[in-house]
């Protein structure tokens, strides 16, 4: 093989035009999905202390956010409910006139073509903070949780969600949701499965935003062990077999090897969640002048794309879209 001086790799790095021409991983606003936290009331915006620049907002304002997302060219919204009242089974999450259904309707009315996704899980709605109903022992009852998740997904689909996204990590939940949707005549509603969701320390700021910290124990009994990579491939295969249309790896940055492995093994749309802890760490470092926040943000998002994600769920979506457009 001929090497230097005949081969000079720097020839293709000399100017922005050449670099842009040969760039391998490309990032566009259409590949970014913005998460929103929906709260009770009207005209309400609540800053989240641990996530600078991110707010909780009432359902009526989701229309405004949808219009903004559409104008920025974003790929969609992902909605989470943050109710005031909670109970043992998370019943408010299944209310057809609850926070998320109202937000879905507002978003779809304002921007009908913008994809709206709704997170499906009990943790935001239970008084104990776990992702399923509890046995007397305090363990999550996997099988008793499945019909509740299916009902929640059904409420969101009936409100107009384009995609329902189960994040609970219960075994069999994709099949239960798919069956429920199909039996209700909602077979066009897509399922984005949080197929490889790890029991991560990077969710800390989200726990404040969604007010869903477990009151006892933790989620290690159903979310994945951060040490496991091969297990993620099994989880993804099972969810695709059960009817998932898209799959997700969460978190993104500490699991880029998992993103790459899933991309190489499966030919379905793959999303990665650039989670709250990743967002807040970068924002804190930028605020202290330790890094160039804008460059670091785009480098991080590009890295997730380079690893193989087709789209990224990220709180940076509006900021990144404006930079990319400029």
Q: What is the CATH number of the domain that holds 257?
A: 3.20.20.70
277 or 213: which leads in pLDDT: 277
Q: Is residue 172 part of a domain?
A: yes
Q: Is residue 55 part of a domain?
A: yes
Predicted pLDDT of residue 128: 93
CA gap 194, 278 in Å, rounded: 18
Active site residues: 197, 250
Is the model's pLDDT at 266 over the cut of 90?
A: yes
Predicted pLDDT of residue 213: 78
**The total number of structural domains that make up the chain:** 1
CA-wise closest residue to 117 among 68, 45, 166: 166
Q: Is residue 175 part of a domain?
A: yes
4 or 279: which leads in pLDDT: 279
Predicted pLDDT of residue 169: 95
Q: Is residue 108 part of a domain?
A: yes
Q: Is residue 18 part of a domain?
A: no
Is the model's pLDDT at 224 over the cut of 70?
A: yes
What does the angle CA 31 – CA 45 – CA 276 come to, to the nearest 5 degrees?
45
Q: Is residue 85 part of a domain?
A: yes
CA-wise closest residue to 207 among 44, 48, 45: 48
Please report the DSSP string for 114-142 in residue order: S-EEEEE-STTTBSS--SS-B-TTS-B-H
What does the angle CA 46 – CA 149 – CA 65 come to, to the nearest 5 degrees?
30
If you average pLDDT over residues 187-208, what whole number do you get?
A: 95
List the domain range (segments joined by +) for residue 260: 25-325
Predicted pLDDT of residue 1: 67
Interhelix angle 173-183/142-159, rounded to 10 degrees, is 40
The tens digit of pLDDT for each residue in 281-308 reads 999 999 999 999 999 999 999 999 999 9
Least trusted range by pLDDT, from 72-81, 206-215, 274-283:
206-215
Question: Hey, is 245 helix, strand or coil?
Answer: coil
Is the model's pLDDT at 33 over the cut of 70?
A: yes
Mean pLDDT for all residues in the chain: 96
If you average pLDDT over residues 156-163, what whole number do you get?
A: 98
Question: Hey, what are 307's tokens?
Answer: 């690893």
CA gap 287, 291 in Å, rounded: 8
Q: Are 168 and 131 in contact (CB under 8 A)?
A: yes
Residue 138 to residues 121, 170, 215, 217, 252, Cα–Cα distance (Å): 18, 16, 11, 8, 30
Q: Is residue 6 part of a domain?
A: no
Predicted pLDDT of residue 326: 79
pTM (2 decimals)?
A: 0.96
Residue 43 to residues 56, 59, 66, 76, 99, Cα–Cα distance (Å): 11, 8, 15, 22, 14
What does the angle CA 89 – CA 252 – CA 262 come to, to the nearest 5 degrees?
95
Residue 251 preceded by cis peptide, ω within 30: yes
CB neighbours of 221 closer than 8 A, spacing ≥ 6?
139, 140
Q: Is residue 281 part of a domain?
A: yes
Structural element, H or E, at residue 109: helix 99-110
Question: Hey, is 24 helix, strand or coil?
Answer: coil
- pLDDT class of 211 with cuts at 50, 70, 90: confident
Supply the Cα-derived Rg of the chain in whole angstroms.
20
The percent of residues above 70 in pLDDT, for the chain, comes to: 100
């Amino acid at each position: 093989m001929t090497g230097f001086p005949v081969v000079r790799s720097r020839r293709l790095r000399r100017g922005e035009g050449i670099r842009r021409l040969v760039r391998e991983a490309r990032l566009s606003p259409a590949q970014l999905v913005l998460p929103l936290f929906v709260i009770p009331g009207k005209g309400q915006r609540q800053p989240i202390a641990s996530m600078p620049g991110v707010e909780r907002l009432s359902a009526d304002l989701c229309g405004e956010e949808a219009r903004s997302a559409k104008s920025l060219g974003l790929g969609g919204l992902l909605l989470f409910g943050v109710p005031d009242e909670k109970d043992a089974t998370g019943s408010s999450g299944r209310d057809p006139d609850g926070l998320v259904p109202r937000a879905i309707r507002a978003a779809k009315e304002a921007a009908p073509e913008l994809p709206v996704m709704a997170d499906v899980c009990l943790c935001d709605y239970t008084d104990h903070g776990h992702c399923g109903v509890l046995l007397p022992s305090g363990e999550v009852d996997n099988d008793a949780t499945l019909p509740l998740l299916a009902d929640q997904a059904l409420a969101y689909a009936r409100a107009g969600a384009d995609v329902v996204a189960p994040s609970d990590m219960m075994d069999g939940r994709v099949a239960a949701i798919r069956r429920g949707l199909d039996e209700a005549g909602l077979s066009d509603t897509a399922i984005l499965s949080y197929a490889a969701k790890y029991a991560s320390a990077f969710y800390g700021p989200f726990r404040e935003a969604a007010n869903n910290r477990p009151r006892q124990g933790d989620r290690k009994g159903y979310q994945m062990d951060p040490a496991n990579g091969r297990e993620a491939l099994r989880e993804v295969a099972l969810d695709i077999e059960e009817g998932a249309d898209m799959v997700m790896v969460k978190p993104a940055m500490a699991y880029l090897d998992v993103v790459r492995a899933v991309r190489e093994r499966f030919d379905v749309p793959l999303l990665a969640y650039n989670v709250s802890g990743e967002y807040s760490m970068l924002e804190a470092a930028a605020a202290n002048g330790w890094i160039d926040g804008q460059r670091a943000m785009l480098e991080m998002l590009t890295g997730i794309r380079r690893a193989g994600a087709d789209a990224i769920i990220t709180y940076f979506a509006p900021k990144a879209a404006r930079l990319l457009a400029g």
